[in-house]
Structure 1
Amino acid sequence: MKFLAFVLITIPLLTNAQDKGIHFINRLDWDQSLAKARSTNKLLFIDCYAIWCRPCRFMNDSIFSNQEVADFLNKNFINIKVKMDSAIDGYQDGEDKQANVDMIKKKYQISAYPTFLFVEPSGELVYRIVGTYESPESFIKKASKALDQDEQYFFLLEQYNSGRRNPVFISRLIVAAENSGDKVMANKLKKEYTPE
């Protein structure tokens, strides 16, 4: 009888423990990940990291371990971790997974770690964050911009390329370019639109 009572008390605790933390899906290939995003009507959140990267470890240990961050990401995104330095990790055939990693690196121009991508179910990049954050709150604030089209760098860039040039818009675009790691565009805009 004591054993049965122990089991009945322990099972709910184990179930709750499994629900905590960020639900990263790593066992799906790229097409399956996009399909899951389509079926749930969510963006993909992709943590592009390298094992040797100290800022990546900081994000994993200090920011992603926070329950508030986990709750925010789990509610709003399909979460994926992609190890960029070596794809062979036992989840699927190493060669196939390396092809996915190479495609992500090239398509989304990953040049620094950590890089966090926010991708539409169509595969279109809508927002990027490069670097680390000092607090869970600052990361949530930054990541929430991926859900607001008026803050999405690539949407703003599309408007710029269509001719939008008012000063308030240009200021927002400069900040979005810097936050997305597009220093070339940020510097170009600063040079063109900042009074001397």
Structure 2
Amino acid sequence: MKQTLYTLLFSTFSFLGFADPDFIYVDNIHDWEEVLSLAEENRKLLYVYYSADDCEPCEFMENSTFDYDEVEDFFNQRFISVYIRKGTSFARMFADGFQIQSVPSSLWMTGKEFVWRLEAGSMDNSEIIEASMRASQLTREYPTLLPAALNGADSLSVRDWLDLMYIAGVNNQSYESELVNSFKNSLHLDSLHSEEYWTFVQTYVSDLTSPLYQYIKIDWKQTLGEDFPWESYYDQLYDFNLTIAINRADSGLVENMEYHLLPTLEVDSTQPANTLKMRKLDLWQDYYLGMGDFQTYLETTSMMIEDVEPNSDQMASIIKELTSVSRSTYALDQGLKWINGAIKREPTAKLYIIKADVLIVQGRNIDALRVLGDAEELSPSDDEVELIEFLKYVANTRY
């Protein structure tokens, strides 16, 4: 009966010709639900390959890895293989739901969407078979490994711990916090001081509210080692979480970023004292611009800028972004209000130059010339003198 169902359902799907394993192409929720049913009925794990156009690592997987006879035989015997291509609304939903951050990515899961393993990046024929065998191994060992971990067993390897924490995190299991606490109590603080484990953190720890991330961020240098590339990891988390927040129109995720991510990037003595406040302003601006909500972007900036008190360089960046999005009279008037507030706090030649530039864009050339005169009285640098002379030329020409 199951073999008959397997054959009948397969006849309804689209198959791909690029690779030897029998991949089912899925681009909508209906086909996905059919595939899940197929896996349940046949008691097989799903192997999901997430790919994209114009992706060299994807081309390697599709033209090399999957082309080996051993890979074809291995996957056709053990898994129902699914192909999802980035770009469709279903693919976006799938990537968000299963925390996929890069292409290509490989997932092994049950028909009930219980994920056993995720591998990001390309793999050769031996690597993908090894990863698949590990996924299958976890399905057998999980009932033994999990109780041992929760009881604080010191016999588990770091790899076992990380696999268990990934399974708990992606499947929203309530015992994730217990696992992290047991991990902290069972292993040395320097257990993750290895590039081998850094890859796990960079690839799988993306939920800013997860117990593992919360544990890491308290003192990442102690947990991961001082050589861990936190700045690039920070950028990765920023882009990933902001994209999800925009796709879901979820300001709560932005708040999570504000409280759990932004403070983790160190502020050194060479940076302004308001650097963290400026990051928060940048974050909310990025969110509302990503949402296409220009009005709220202006309102939020006007509200936050009083607390940020940006310096001349920061104000230049704010105005540059504003004018790159809109040069409407309303937008430029808002920009002038922000500049005037900064001038009132601490007048500088640079701020007056920025103000004159905006006035010229508005066609207010006489006002711009007057403001440039104010700039000249504030001991401008040589570069600023050149800008003043250039803007004077522009204003006089247009006048």
CA distance in 2, matches of 1:192, 1:170: 17
Question: Does the C-alpha gap of structure 1 residues 147 and 190 become closer, same or farther in structure 2, counting only changes over 3 Å?
Answer: farther
Find the partner of 2:97 among 96, 107, 113: 107
Q: What is the root-mean-square deviation of aligned Cα atoms in Å?
A: 3.5
Q: Which runs of 5+ in 1 are unaligned?
A: 1-17, 88-97
Matches of residues 180-195 of structure 1 in structure 2 within 5 Å? Answer: 181-182=203-204, 185=212, 188=216, 192=223
Partner Cα distance (2:37, 2:140) in 1? 25
Residue 77 to residue 190, structure 1, CA distance change in 2 (3 Å):
farther
Q: 1:137 aligns with which of 106, 110, 126?
A: 126
Percent pairwise identity: 21
TM-score norm. by structure 1 comes to 0.67
Match of 1:118 among 108, 123, 126: 108
State the AA in 2 paired with 1:146: A
Equivalent position SS for 1:29: helix
Q: Tell me the TM-score normalised to structure 2 length.
A: 0.35
Is residue 116–residue 139 contact of structure 2 (8 Å, CA) maintained in 1? no
Moved more, 109-118 or 182-191: 182-191
Which deviations, in whole Å up to 9, do the C-alpha atoms of 1:43-94 show, x marking residues without a partner? 111000111211111111110111111111111111011001x23xxxxxxx
2:68 to 66, 69, 84: 66
- Note if contact 1:47-1:82 (Cα within 8 Å) is conserved in structure 2: yes
Mapped partners of 2:222, 2:153: distance in 1: 15
Cα distance per residue 1:100-124 (max 9 Å; x no partner): 3232111101111111011111111
Conserved? CA contact 1:34–1:122, under 8 Å: yes
Asked whether the 8 Å contact 1:22–1:64 carries over to 2, the reply is yes
More strand by share: 1
Equivalent residue, structure 2, for 1:14? none
* Larger relative contact order, structure 1 or 2 (CA cutoff 8 Å, min sep 6): 1
Map 1:17-56 → 2, pairs under 5 A: 21-26=20-25, 29-56=31-58
Distance in 1 separating the partners of 2:134 and 2:224: 24
Residue 173 of structure 1, CA deviation = 3.2
Larger-gyration structure (1/2): 2
Tell me what 1:6 maps to: none
Q: Is the 8 A contact 1:174 1:190 kept in 2?
A: no
